[in-house]
Structure 1
Amino acid sequence: MTKDNTIQKSMGWSLSSEVAVKFVVPVTNMILARVLTPDAFGVVAVCNMLVSFVDLITDAGFGKYLVQHDFESEEEKGQYADVSFWTNLGISVLMTVLIILFRFPIASFLGHRDYGNVIAIASVQLIITSVSSIQTAIFRREFEFKKLFVARISVAAAPLMITVPLALILRSFWALIIGNISGALVNAMVLTAFSKWRPGFFYKVTILKRMFNYSFWSLCEALANWTIFWVDTFIVGSVFSEYQLGLYKNSTNMVQSIMGMISASMSPVLLSTLSRLKNSKEKYSDAFLNIYNLILYLILPMGAGLFLYRDTATLLLFGSQWSEAANIVGAWGLMMLCSVTFYSFPAELYKSKGIPQVLFLFQMLYLVILIPVCIVSAGYGFWIMVYARCLCVLWQVFISVIFMKKYIGMALNKFFVTFITPCLATGCMVIGSVFMKTFLRGTPGDIIAIFICTIIYTAFLAIFARRQITRSISGMRDNNLK
């Protein structure tokens, strides 16, 4: 691809897929939250915690290696893809068999022995996912996000078409389990249909050894990242009831889904772009700051809005029976704002530079604080633990800034300059919201206030930020990505 708008098109397709998916997923969850109880979501949270953990091990970081590494030829790239595919598939089959054999001890360890058979069936999606992981990496490397867009839409539609009808019939967590497996199967089928690459009967141990150094540290950072987002779930499931686990995890999942619309769409493009530009310091820095600036204009008002209108958001997303979740939604909105801004996107810097061990060190320093805080605060009650977990993000912000300066050589003055206009625009929106809350009350009043806040924010951007946004978009043009 030699066109100078490669990045813009990739970002456009990636963002479009996430917007579409994040439209379908909340609609699905809104329906399911009104059909199923929090207990059902608690059961699925336990299964997803295990499956996502094992899925990281089966991938072993090979997908990121294929995106980041510079190959000398298409033949060499194909050989590395073959080795990655067969390794992933072999590990997936082995791990699935082990989970099935030891399903009850595993379930007991997770605090829910009765769900051994549920965990065994849920683990089947590990084999299905391993089939499509290498194809996804190749599509990202080649900036073929249009094909990934179609796959994402198909995956999002599967739960809506399958999970919801099953939930209405079964009224149990089995609808969610079957929906997850169906989504993984649809994803594998669509990506296989689109992919020009097909796994060949090729395997070479020397290639596996070459990938191991990067992949090992990439796996370590992926596991540390999993721990960051699941350790609180494990603690809640161990200390509190299934109801509180479902209340907590479904609420946080929804916030992550909404805020992740930006990170999930931009991060793959950012990694692919920075990986191609890593040998040009000036282009590398400019590409990151230009994309980062656009991200801030999207992520800051989303986090602030979830906090300000947490009651209305919870009512619309889950229904009145989930009213207790409003404070979780609000607190996590602010927490995810900071985490996405200072962790999710800067993480791509370390991956693109081929230094995942530095990112792993960053994550371990964060976990050193996060885990003890969650354990100790859980002893004081559910809500104390929720708020304490969110406040830990301040430590994450601090070490993120230190690491970017030390290991990336980021000019912090340029980095923080990108915050000025987005923060001012968000600040005007917040002031307008606080003012309107004095005379617009209740859900109808909040909906009107949200509409007015959107107008205020858009007007500020049109008047004061139009040139900066245009400059950031223009700055992403580059005809030497590949």
Structure 2
Amino acid sequence: MSAGQSIRNSTKWVFFGGIGSQALGFIFGVTLARLLVPADFGALVTIQIFTGLVGYIAGGGMGQALVQAREARNEDYQMVFTFQLIIGIAIYAGFFVFSPLIARWFGNPLYSSLLKLSALSFVLRPFVNVPNSKLFREMRFKENTFIQLFTLLVSSLTSIALAWQGYGVWSLVWGGLAGSIAGMLIVIPVSGWKPGLRLNGARAKELARYGFTASSNDLVIYLRGQTSNFILSHQLGTAAVGLFNKADSLSQMPNGVVSGAVYHPVFRALSKEQDNLDKSRYLYFRALTLVALYSLPFYVGLWWLADPFILVVYGAKWQASAQPLAILALSGLFFAIENQSGAVAAAQNQLGIELRIQLASWALMALAVYSGLHFGLPGVAWGLLCVYAFNAAAMAWLAQRSLQARWVMLLNALKPALILNSLMFANLLLLDHFIHALRHSQPLVYMLSMAATGSVLYAVLFLFLPLSGLHAEQVTWKRKIGLMPQLLPK
């Protein structure tokens, strides 16, 4: 089996899980957005700044260390579980004590109770994270996909039921806890792992060395992503946070489906081949080609359809999210590059250099958000776009350096997707010229016309335009849809 086929087979279930999770998450998200108001989501996002921040400390990166390690025994899983459980209990106690101070700083007493309830998840996390690490290490993505979808269903349906009953932001918190409990009850028996307490200082230090660097990177990336929420919450209030977060989360969705699905299999494959630079280069650039090919058309569509999409799907109360969403849609290429380059950095153990890149991006993010505030939410979005561009360029440089690759290889990997999406953009520009009046008078008709035209055009161009680097992918799809005969087994 070729490396390209290996990537395809490894990502099939992860991709299915990503598609299913994003589709269900989108449907449930729209339902909750109709039942709740932006301030409810803004309140949840604000407390998640703190719970998410501490979450990276709770994990310590040791789960990722188990996936990356050349060898992992049952004793290692039990040791990681023990450390994470101790840390989780300590974190819950800390939130119980200090949540009133956080609520007082924001001037909102509700945050104290929300934080105390949300912090219960830290006690549950070790029961979910450790068996999940075992599934990822063993590349059992099928089981992981079904667990992920089941957890999402439980969490979302719980939130919707409570929101329907008028529980507001509490419906979101209780839904998250219900999902954690459901995930714990199913992932432990499926993984075959049994919780156990074990301490081994020498082995813990060995795993923690990699895990600390990995979690430091994840922590800084998280802080960078939460900087806009923190500043907006303090400066403009929860409604502004809810509106901007809606735009930001929608802009991340295509990346989560495609690039996120490819990341774990590619990271595991790169970890296996970390001493084989030729194979690692192939895996990296092939993954980039596929991610850009399948994610960029969604971003082109978001750029054109942000305004009618928000109005039709979410309603007028969310309309202020449309312009930031259109701006953030320009980040699609940057997300693809950063994600796959991060897999290279993790597999090649270049996390120390990545940490410096992420720290620089975090500082730039704070500067960009404060500067953009003068121009409202669109100004903040433009600031984020500049930071995403910087971070993608820096991470691509690190990947090239780690794999001893040349920049022309990166350009060649991205060229097929850039050509296809440029042609689609030009055709949508022409179509918009003729039906632009429908954008405001009949937004649903405009949205469906542009989406259908763009989808059909992209599919035709992809299947029949001769482009270097896409021949194998084109043949695979032509056989799937019956345009070419299937290969008969020998």
The TM-score range, normalised by the shorter chain, is over 0.9
Structure-2 residue corresponding to 1:32? 32
Structure 1 contact 99–106 (Cα < 8 Å) conserved = no
Deviation at 1:470, TM superposition (A): 5.0
Structure-1 residue corresponding to 2:410? 415
Distance 1:432 1:266, change over 3 A: same
Cα distance in 1 for residues equivalent to 2:376 and 2:310: 22
Structure-2 residue corresponding to 1:478? none
Give the 3-state SS of the residue equivalent to 1:437 in structure 2: helix
Structure-2 residue corresponding to 1:450? 451
The one-character-per-residue Cα deviations of 1:308-337 (angstroms, maximum 9, x if unpaired) are: 1111221244222211111121112212x1
Structure-2 residue corresponding to 1:463? 464
Structure-1 residue corresponding to 2:59? 59
Deviation at 1:388, TM superposition (A): 1.9
Report whether the alignment pairs 1:430 with 2:425. yes
Give the 3-state SS of the residue equivalent to 2:168 in structure 1: coil
Report whether the alignment pairs 1:439 with 2:439. no
After alignment, is 368-377 or 143-152 more displaced?
368-377
Q: TM-score, normalised by structure 1?
A: 0.92
Cα distance in 2 for residues equivalent to 1:345 and 1:3: 16
RMSD: 2.3
Give the 3-state SS of the residue equivalent to 1:202 in structure 2: coil
Deviation at 1:408, TM superposition (A): 3.5
Consecutive unaligned residues of structure 2, counting only runs of 5 or more, are 477-490
Which residue type is aligned with residue 393 of structure 2?
F
Distance 1:59 1:2, change over 3 A: farther
Structure-2 residue corresponding to 1:189? 185
Question: 1:7-22 counterparts in 2 under 5 A?
Answer: 7-22=7-22
Cα distance in 2 for residues equivalent to 1:317 and 1:171: 23
Structure-1 residue corresponding to 2:218? 222
Question: 1:145-224 counterparts in 2 under 5 A?
Answer: 145-224=141-220
Which residue type is aligned with residue 16 of structure 1?
F
Pick one of 377, 383, 387 that aligns with 1:388.
Answer: 383
Cα distance in 1 for residues equivalent to 2:428 and 2:239: 33
Give the count of matched residue pairs. 470
Structure 1 contact 342–396 (Cα < 8 Å) conserved = no
Cα distance in 1 for residues equivalent to 2:474 and 2:68: 23
Structure of higher RCO (CA pairs closer than 8 Å, 6+ residues apart): 1
Cα distance in 1 for residues equivalent to 2:63 and 2:471: 33
Report whether the alignment pairs 1:318 with 2:300. no
Deviation at 1:5, TM superposition (A): 5.4
Structure 1 contact 163–176 (Cα < 8 Å) conserved = yes
Cα distance in 2 for residues equivalent to 1:37 and 1:260: 25
The one-character-per-residue Cα deviations of 1:138-189 (angstroms, maximum 9, x if unpaired) are: 1111110000011111012113321111111125111111111111111122
Distance 1:418 1:121, change over 3 A: same
The one-character-per-residue Cα deviations of 1:59-89 (angstroms, maximum 9, x if unpaired) are: 1000110111101xxxx52222111111111
Structure-2 residue corresponding to 1:23? 23
Which residue type is aligned with residue 85 of structure 2?
L
Structure-1 residue corresponding to 2:269? 273
After alignment, is 136-145 or 6-15 more displaced?
6-15
Deviation at 1:25, TM superposition (A): 0.6
Question: 1:91-130 counterparts in 2 under 5 A?
Answer: 91-109=87-105, 112-130=108-126
Give the 3-state SS of the residue equivalent to 2:198 in structure 1: coil
Cα distance in 1 for residues equivalent to 2:317 and 2:238: 16
Structure 1 contact 122–177 (Cα < 8 Å) conserved = yes
Structure-2 residue corresponding to 1:297? 293
Cα distance in 2 for residues equivalent to 1:228 and 1:361: 13
Cα distance in 1 for residues equivalent to 2:106 and 2:193: 39
Structure-2 residue corresponding to 1:406? 401
Cα distance in 2 for residues equivalent to 1:67 and 1:454: 37
Cα distance in 1 for residues equivalent to 2:180 and 2:96: 19
Give the 3-state SS of the residue equivalent to 1:203 in structure 2: coil
Structure 1 contact 51–122 (Cα < 8 Å) conserved = yes
Distance 1:264 1:378, change over 3 A: same
Structure 2 contact 217–354 (Cα < 8 Å) conserved = yes
Deviation at 1:341, TM superposition (A): 1.8
Structure 1 contact 29–317 (Cα < 8 Å) conserved = no
Structure 2 contact 372–380 (Cα < 8 Å) conserved = yes
Structure 1 contact 259–303 (Cα < 8 Å) conserved = no
Give the 3-state SS of the residue equivalent to 1:345 in structure 2: helix
Deviation at 1:380, TM superposition (A): 5.2
Pick one of 247, 252, 258 that aligns with 2:248.
Answer: 252
The one-character-per-residue Cα deviations of 1:75-131 (angstroms, maximum 9, x if unpaired) are: x52222111111111101110111011111123345644320111101111222221
Structure-1 residue corresponding to 2:485? none
Distance 1:167 1:436, change over 3 A: same
Deviation at 1:50, TM superposition (A): 1.7
Deviation at 1:242, TM superposition (A): 1.6
Structure 1 contact 104–114 (Cα < 8 Å) conserved = no
The one-character-per-residue Cα deviations of 1:215-256 (angstroms, maximum 9, x if unpaired) are: 111121011111121111101111112211111112312322
Structure-2 residue corresponding to 1:332? 328
Structure 2 contact 64–133 (Cα < 8 Å) conserved = yes
Question: 1:357-376 counterparts in 2 under 5 A?
Answer: 357-376=352-371
Structure-2 residue corresponding to 1:479? none
Consecutive unaligned residues of structure 1, counting only runs of 5 or more, are 476-482
Cα distance in 1 for residues equivalent to 2:184 and 2:37: 30
Cα distance in 2 for residues equivalent to 1:329 and 1:453: 19
Structure-1 residue corresponding to 2:236? 240
Give the 3-state SS of the residue equivalent to 2:202 in structure 1: helix
Cα distance in 2 for residues equivalent to 1:117 and 1:210: 38
Deviation at 1:46, TM superposition (A): 1.2
